[in-house]
Amino acid sequence: MSSATTDFYAVEDLLDPADIEVRDRVREFCAREVTPVINDFWERAEFPHELVPKIAKLGIAGGTVQGYGSPGMSAVAAGLVAAEWARADGSLGTFYGVHSFLAMQSIAMLGSEEQRERWLPAMARLETIGAFGLTEPQHGSDAVALETRARRDGDEYVLTGAKKWIGNGTIADLVLIWARDEQGDVGGYVVPKGSAGWTAARMTGKTALRAVWQAEITLDGVRVPAENRLANCRSFRDVSLVLDRTRYTVAWRALGIAEAAYELALQHTLRREQFGQPIAGYQLVQEKLARMLAEITGMRLLCWRLSTLADEGRMTAAMASMAKMNNAKKARQVIADARDLFGGDGILLEHHIARHHADIEAIYTFEGTDHVQALIVGREITGISAITGRGAARRPAPPEPPQSI
């Protein structure tokens, strides 16, 4: 076993060769095209548009979407790909995740056959970029309370409201806007770029994921054809189904960025000499490296098992929440320890660890904060919802008292 490997428990042996092939294809691409250039884009807060046609040639857009030009990956393969993007750069991982796992998956799951045929093939070729407009200025964790409205007017819907933190929002050709209609039902509306009444302002001043652009969107009477409303979405529960199906990839992203940080730190400690020897030879450094690897090993096993359950149709929302909660928090600590092992060099972009140290803060927060994920798991455990403070309709019988031994 190589001393640099993060696969300490040989999870590779459990992977399908087809899944390994797509992972390695993305890893090689990132090593060749992304890592050498991404620090400059990150520092300037510029999106690397020139990489998009190259990403298209990988043939991975759409992830697990079956047909319509998408690869129809297994959940394990999709997770491995998400981890590889994170290992290289969290910003490009966000671009890919929003397009493939949120926008395309929503259309695949909730659109009609005609809608899937209309939009997905061009999205699979990355000729059409997608975005997912759910979060609002006043509604993040409580996105169910969304205030954006859709009013039917003949053969069109008129959208009014605002969205915030919309990844790809300023560059997307199609943005899926979630809004409530006059009956209070939630629907997904595909809004083409350049629609009248549409304003998308790029958010600035970010300290994480700087090379991907998020937008604040204003909808002032934006008109979309009635056929642009996703045919099979009638409630927020349908939106939640999409989020549940994609959240597991965020656990993989946390794993990927932690792996990158550990590998960078290990290489640095083997090279860096102080007091006459590499710092990797000191007890305090080895203890830190060992604990980092232990956390990564647990994260990797959790990701693999969660994705195999997803492939079997057995993954639940609480399972996905537990993995995201656990892995994002553990990755945050692993990356902090890795940055610490770099000493002063850890704040220089040229060593990459500073970028990962900043980017994990966004991954820790998006697609459900640590606290909300914990409450989703807690609701599953107890049958009582603590999210709103109102309790839950289902209350399980108290557990049997443990028997004395």
The mean pLDDT value of the chain amounts to 92
Residue 402: count other Cβ atoms within 10 Å of its Cβ: 6
- List, for the chain, all residue ranges whose pLDDT scores fall below the cut of 70: 1-4, 389-405
What pLDDT was estimated at residue 390?
57
- How far is residue 191's CA from residue 229's CA, in Å, rounded to a whole number? 9
Q: Is CATH 3.30.70.60 the right assignment for the domain spanning 131-234?
A: no
Query: What's the half-sphere exposure (Cβ side, CA atoms, 13 Å) at 85?
Result: 29
Complete DSSP assignment for 224-260: EEGGGB-TT--SHHHHHHHHHHHHHHHHHHHHHHHHH
What pLDDT was estimated at residue 4?
53
What pLDDT was estimated at residue 168?
96
> Under DSSP, is residue 132 helix (H, G, I), strand (E, B) or coil?
strand
> Under DSSP, is residue 220 helix (H, G, I), strand (E, B) or coil?
strand
* pTM for this prediction: 0.91
Whether 237-382 and 11-129 are alike in CATH topology: the answer is no
Count of H-run helices and E-run strands, the chain: 12, 11
Contacts of 304 (CB under 8 A, 6+ apart): 11, 14, 15, 76, 79
The CATH class of 11-129 is mainly alpha
**254 close to 331: Cβ distance less than 8 angstroms:** yes
**CATH number of the domain located at residue range(s) 237-382 in this protein:** 1.20.140.10
What pLDDT was estimated at residue 139?
85
Domain boundaries, the chain: 11-129, 131-234, 237-382
What pLDDT was estimated at residue 402?
40
Q: Are strands 130-133 and 214-225 parallel, antiparallel or unpaired?
A: unpaired
**243 close to 193: Cβ distance less than 8 angstroms:** no
Question: How long is the chain?
Answer: 405
